[in-house]
Amino acid sequence: MNSRPGSKVVDLATAVASVPEGASLSFSGFGHFGHPLAFVHELLRAGTGDFTLHAIAECWPAELLTAAGRVRHINLSNLMFEGLGRVRAICRAVENGEVTTDDHSHLGLALRLLAGGWDVPFLPIRTMAGSDLENIQTGPTPKFARIPSPFSNEQIGVVSALRPDVAVIHVTESDEQGNGILYGQLSVLDAQVRAATHVILTTEKLVTADQIVSNNQLVSVPGILVDQVVHTPFGAYPGGMYGLYDEDLELMGEYYEASRHPETTDRYLDSWIFGIADHDAYLDRIGSQRLSESVVDPVRKLAKGRGEW
């Protein structure tokens, strides 16, 4: 429900309900930071699935959705847990024929999203040519082709446009119209929001329009492209958010160990997602002390570096 007339603010369950069965999805985030994991958890609880993912580096959303059997195809460039290792549930699903994948270079997948955002059918690229990234194509839409250059006699590689049904982006702060600011790694955020048909913004802080205007040069997501805004403090946890809180490597490691076997993976999902009512209950289980310890405090960290703490 909107907080006031004209506002795009809705609750998490309402935003999740806007994602249809069989949708193609793209999530923000890179490495262990900036993933909209509160949204992903709620999407899992909703039971929706049969998704196609356009995943450049959003390892955690892709892994959790695949582990729960909600994914049928992934367009990917690189999915791994930094400092941990393989995305085991995705590897198992691919090896067992449950999920198909189309591999890309980082640039190749980024350009496919950018082509979608620019509303052109393809963009030229030199990488991927002459490798299995060109030769092996399993998705419903061809990803790569070669065409004659209109300006020379050479054949040039091109990648086809991707237009996700839904992009879910987690930002540091946003106003009620979806003008969002993300500090730190932006990855391919701009291409994602411009290419998607429906954009959901989850935000750590909900601020006034005047506060956004005072920092308008930092706006990462223009509100004109956003359909729904969800206020989700600690919405990337157990991942981190630059300048706000660090990743919880202990909890991430707990999933990574559980992911060694399907049975222990299922138990983890039951314990940390399906057995928890909502995001508020999830944060309650984490506990205020653990959350506060993850919060970035530059003054305390500086003192610790000087041996004063």
Distances 263 to 85, 88, 184, 259 between C-alpha atoms, Å: 19, 13, 36, 9
Residue 41 has pLDDT above 90, yes or no: yes
Q: Which domain holds residue 73?
A: 12-117+163-289
pLDDT, one tens digit per residue, over 139-164 is 778 899 999 999 999 999 999 999 99
Q: Is residue 255 part of a domain?
A: yes
Close Cβ partners of 212 (under 8 Å, ≥ 6 residues apart): 173, 174, 175, 179, 181, 219
User: Within a domain: residue 138?
Assistant: no
Dist CA 202 CA 169 (whole Å): 6
How many structural domains compose the chain? 1
- Asked if residue 277 belongs to a domain, the reply is yes
Question: Domain for residue 2, yes or no?
Answer: no
Pairing type for strands 166-174 and 198-206 reads parallel
The pLDDT of residue 299: 57
- Is 224 a domain residue? yes
Amino acid at 67: A
Partners of 167 in beta bridges: 26, 199
**pLDDT tens-digit map of 275-287:** 999 999 999 999 9
Which tens digits make up the pLDDT trace of 220-257? 999 999 999 999 999 999 999 999 999 999 999 999 99
User: CA gyration radius for the chain?
Assistant: 20
The pair phi, psi for residue 190, each rounded to 5°, is -60, -45
Instruction: Give pLDDT, residue 33.
Output: 94
176 domain-assigned: yes
* pLDDT at 127 (0 to 100): 87
Q: In this predicted structure, what is the pLDDT of residue 5?
A: 65
Say whether pLDDT at 308 is over 50.
no
- Helical segments of the chain, H only: 12-17, 37-46, 59-67, 88-95, 106-118, 132-135, 189-195, 209-214, 249-258, 262-269, 279-286, 288-294, 298-305
More confident residue, 303 or 99: 99
CATH code where residue 32 lies: 3.40.1080.10
Q: Which residues are 123's β-sheet partners?
A: 159
The per-residue pLDDT of the chain, averaged, comes to: 92
Q: Tell whether the model's pLDDT for residue 309 goes beyond 60.
A: no
**Residues contacting 166, CB < 8 A, separation 6+:** 18, 19, 23, 24, 25, 26, 196, 197, 198, 199, 200
Of residues 177 and 83, the one with the higher pLDDT is: 177
Task: Establish if 52 belongs to a structural domain.
Answer: yes
